[in-house]
């Protein structure tokens, strides 16, 4: 397997496909998944001649199941370690959900200062913050995230079946047919990772205020969000991101779910390609 070891001793798995002299696109996955969640995008952009890169976040997928560093700062530093190891330049960074927070932190704190980033994309992403705070009174109450922690601790395997079979892909909506393979693949990816990383990651994706990260990003940034996102409500995330980012374009999709990159890959891939080529 292709791996690197970070400065704090964590082995990170990554994929690196395509011509090494082509423009790189680096994908950052959501909680509690792995780089495999980007299959539809990596194959698509590989076919268009790009170099495509994705890694498994620490504690997720095939990366080391360590008991430390499950926070947005370490996530960003790990992404930076991969980008620096591969010497990715003029790169597009695309993040989904928690991976969108990782992209915001990486671009603001590492990639942009190093001159490695051309553009960024935040898809169904968690910034500026999911939790209800004084600054963001329309956020979700802490009880929502306490409920996620309780469900994970009680029966992670069942929780990781119920979430994709229900709100994640909108399969709980009337008239929407459940795609069993999509649910099974979500469960497979989740169960590959560490229960501890997933448990601690809930705090990382819900309580990290990334307002300053968003303000610092000056590269062109595309914000994509489904209007029927039941996991990260678009008015509390995508709309706010577009208001805070200095150089943002917002596109929302009526009826699309949090998992739109998978179940609506044809639409999303076309829009991603148009932004990258613009």
Q: Are 120 and 219 in contact (CB under 8 A)?
A: yes
pLDDT 10s digit of each residue in the chain, 278 long?
799 999 999 999 999 999 999 999 999 999 999 999 999 999 999 999 999 999 999 999 999 999 999 999 999 999 999 999 999 999 999 999 999 999 999 999 999 999 999 999 999 999 999 999 999 999 999 999 999 999 999 999 999 999 999 999 999 999 999 999 999 999 999 999 999 999 999 999 999 999 999 999 999 999 999 999 999 999 999 999 999 999 999 999 999 999 999 999 999 999 999 999 99
Q: Are 111 and 84 in contact (CB under 8 A)?
A: no
Strands, E assignment, the chain: 3-5, 11-17, 24-28, 51-55, 91-96, 117-123, 221-226, 248-253
pLDDT at 254: 98
The residue extents of the domains of the chain are 3-277
Catalytic residues: 97, 229, 258
pLDDT at 26: 99
Q: Which CATH class is domain 3-277?
A: alpha beta
pLDDT at 1: 74
């Amino acid at each position: 397997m292709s791996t690197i070891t970070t400065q704090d001793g964590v082995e990170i798995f990554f994929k690196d496909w395509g011509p090494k002299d082509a423009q790189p696109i680096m994908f950052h996955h959501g909680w509690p998944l792995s780089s495999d969640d980007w299959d539809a995008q990596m194959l698509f952009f590989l076919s268009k001649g790009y170099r495509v890169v994705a890694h498994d976040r620490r504690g997720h997928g095939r990366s080391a199941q360590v008991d430390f560093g499950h926070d947005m700062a370490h996530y960003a530093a790990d992404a930076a370690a991969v980008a620096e190891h591969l010497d990715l330049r003029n790169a597009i960074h695309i993040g989904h959900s928690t991976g969108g927070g990782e992209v915001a932190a990486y671009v603001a704190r590492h990639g942009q200062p190093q001159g490695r980033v051309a553009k960024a994309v935040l898809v169904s992403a968690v910034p500026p913050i999911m939790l209800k705070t004084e600054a963001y009174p329309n956020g979700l109450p802490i009880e929502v995230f306490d409920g996620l922690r309780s469900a994970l601790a009680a029966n992670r395997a069942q929780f990781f079946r119920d979430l994709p079979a229900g709100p994640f892909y909108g399969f709980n909506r009337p008239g929407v047919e459940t795609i069993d393979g999509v649910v099974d693949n979500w469960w497979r990816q989740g169960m590959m990772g560490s229960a501890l990383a997933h448990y601690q990651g809930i705090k990382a994706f819900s309580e990290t205020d990334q307002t300053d990260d968003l303000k610092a990003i000056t590269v062109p940034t595309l914000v994509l969000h489904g209007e029927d996102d039941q996991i990260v409500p678009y008015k509390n995330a995508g709309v706010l991101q577009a208001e805070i980012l200095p150089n943002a374009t917002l596109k929302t999709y009526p009826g699309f779910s949090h998992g739109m990159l998978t179940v609506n890959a044809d639409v999303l891939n076309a829009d991603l390609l148009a932004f990258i080529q613009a």
